[in-house]
Amino acid sequence: MTVKKSDFHYDLPPGLIAQAPLPERSASRLLVVPPAPAPFADRVVRDLPQLLRAGDLLVFNDTRVIQARVFGRKQSGGKVEILVERLLPGNEARVQLGASKPSRAGTRIVLDGGGEAEVLGREGEFYRLRFDVSGALDEWLQVAGRLPLPPYIQRTPDAADAARYQTVFAREPGAVAAPTAGLHFDESLLDALHARGVEFGHVTLHVGAGTFQPVRVDDLGEHRMHSEWIKVGARLVEQVRAARARGGRVVAVGTTVVRALESALGGDGELRPLSGETAIFILPGYRIRSVDALLTNFHLPESTLLMMVSAFAGRERILEAYAHAVRERYRFFSYGDAMLLFPRAEEGR
């Protein structure tokens, strides 16, 4: 059967899109979605220690959001907005370039934060730039760049966002968007989970700007997924094997973790270390085997992330949960509330 983008539409009142975080990370609401026909449960994120068991393994994405948005002018005087998509060797980067006209190779941009950038060429919808700035590009961005809040947050980033649009365990710089399910965790919640006997593991997936690109075809068989860099280390592989051996559950904190783990599964279903690119596209018809539960935020209508969670819990079940969340006025998207999803009954362990 053809899977269509329109199968993943839902109506969302604009007023439910969270424009700022709550004062306390773990105070966000949590919609628990067990397999049908069990009822939904309205909880809060700080209830997680009661919902998980000793021996479970929580897997986080430890990517760190970089100050990826910079501004400048072409030598002709035209204004330019640059959104860094991927840091590359030699102070180069793959970027989205906002300008009144397309930029040719050789075009030089005078940067507001000091220095210049040269357009080396175009790669699909992205450009490749070389930055002539003081020091390493990632360090320069931390001083001269701005935080790239998602386009549905309709305000200028402020000083508080520098901390709140970053997980407390972020350590590997390279993302242009936060792994938002991880934003709900603070030190007190992590301490409570540890006391419960829940273990922690980490993968790295550098979230790219492609995560905000709309799906432009209705027949999802024609959609080409954006690529992102991942690392699933040997330590995490051993943690997963140990959790399975003791009867614990592997609980992904965010769709980025699922994307990384599914990319690292071998044909035999065994998880193996992996470092490199992934362009995996997970939608209904694909069986997610790497995790037993998923903590995730609410996703945009007709987005690839909504398709992924539908593959895990079932499209009808997910759309029913989203309708419940709208009725109960949950907060949506990056700074919004969360869901704890369990797989369809026939796929549960």
pLDDT tens figures, 1-39: 689 999 999 999 999 999 999 999 999 999 999 999 999
Q: Which domain holds residue 12?
A: 5-65+162-347
* Positive/negative CA dihedral, 183, 223, 206, 257: positive
> Do the Cβ atoms of 94 and 132 come closer than 8 Å?
no
> Do the Cβ atoms of 265 and 298 come closer than 8 Å?
no
Task: Determine the 3-state secondary structure of 282 from DSSP.
Answer: coil
b or e along 121-147 (b: 16 or more beta carbons within 10 Å of the residue's beta carbon)? eeeeebbbbbbebeeebbebbeebbbb
What tokens does 25 get?
């990370």
pLDDT at 220 over 90: yes
* Residue 173 maps to a domain: yes
* Residue 152 maps to a domain: no
- Domain end: 144, 173, 204, which one? 144
* Residue 149 maps to a domain: no
Give me the CATH number covering residue 122: 2.40.10.240
* Residue 31 maps to a domain: yes
Burial grade of 348 (CB within 10 A; 0-12, 13-18, 19 or more):
exposed
pLDDT band at 205 (very low <50, low <70, confident <90, very high): very high
Pick from 64, 33, 105, 321: which is nearest to 207 by CA? 64
- Are 319 and 298 in the same domain? yes
* pLDDT top residue among 239 and 159: 239
pLDDT at 52 over 80: yes
- Are 130 and 271 in the same domain? no
- Looking at the structure of the chain, the number of domains it has is 2
* Residue 113 maps to a domain: yes
Residue linked to tokens 């550098």: 206
Pick from 299, 19, 298: which is nearest to 154 by CA? 19
- DSSP element (H, E) containing 190: helix 187-196
> Do the Cβ atoms of 232 and 271 come closer than 8 Å?
yes
Task: Determine the 3-state secondary structure of 150 from DSSP.
Answer: coil
pTM above 0.85, yes or no: yes
Length of the chain, please? 349
- Are 110 and 230 in the same domain? no
- Domain end: 144, 174, 209, which one? 144
- Are 56 and 130 in the same domain? no
- Are 58 and 73 in the same domain? no
* Residue 153 maps to a domain: no
* Residue 245 maps to a domain: yes
- Are 102 and 133 in the same domain? yes
Q: Which amino acid is at 220?
A: L
- Domain end: 85, 110, 144, which one? 144
- Are 27 and 90 in the same domain? no
- Are 140 and 184 in the same domain? no
- Are 237 and 267 in the same domain? yes
The C-alpha angle 67, 70, 75, rounded to 5 degrees, equals 160
Q: Strands 108-111 and 69-74, how do they pair?
A: antiparallel
Give me the CATH number covering residue 228: 3.40.1780.10
Max intra-chain CA distance, the chain? 65
Radius of gyration of the CA atoms of the chain, in A: 20
- Are 198 and 320 in the same domain? yes
* Mean pLDDT of the region 70-82: 93
CA distance 312 to 283: 9
- Are 113 and 251 in the same domain? no
Q: What is the pLDDT of residues 174-192, one digit of tens each?
A: 999 999 999 999 999 999 9
> Do the Cβ atoms of 51 and 176 come closer than 8 Å?
no
What tokens does 141 get?
């961005």
- Are 58 and 93 in the same domain? no
The predicted pLDDT at position 349 comes to 44
* Residue 151 maps to a domain: no
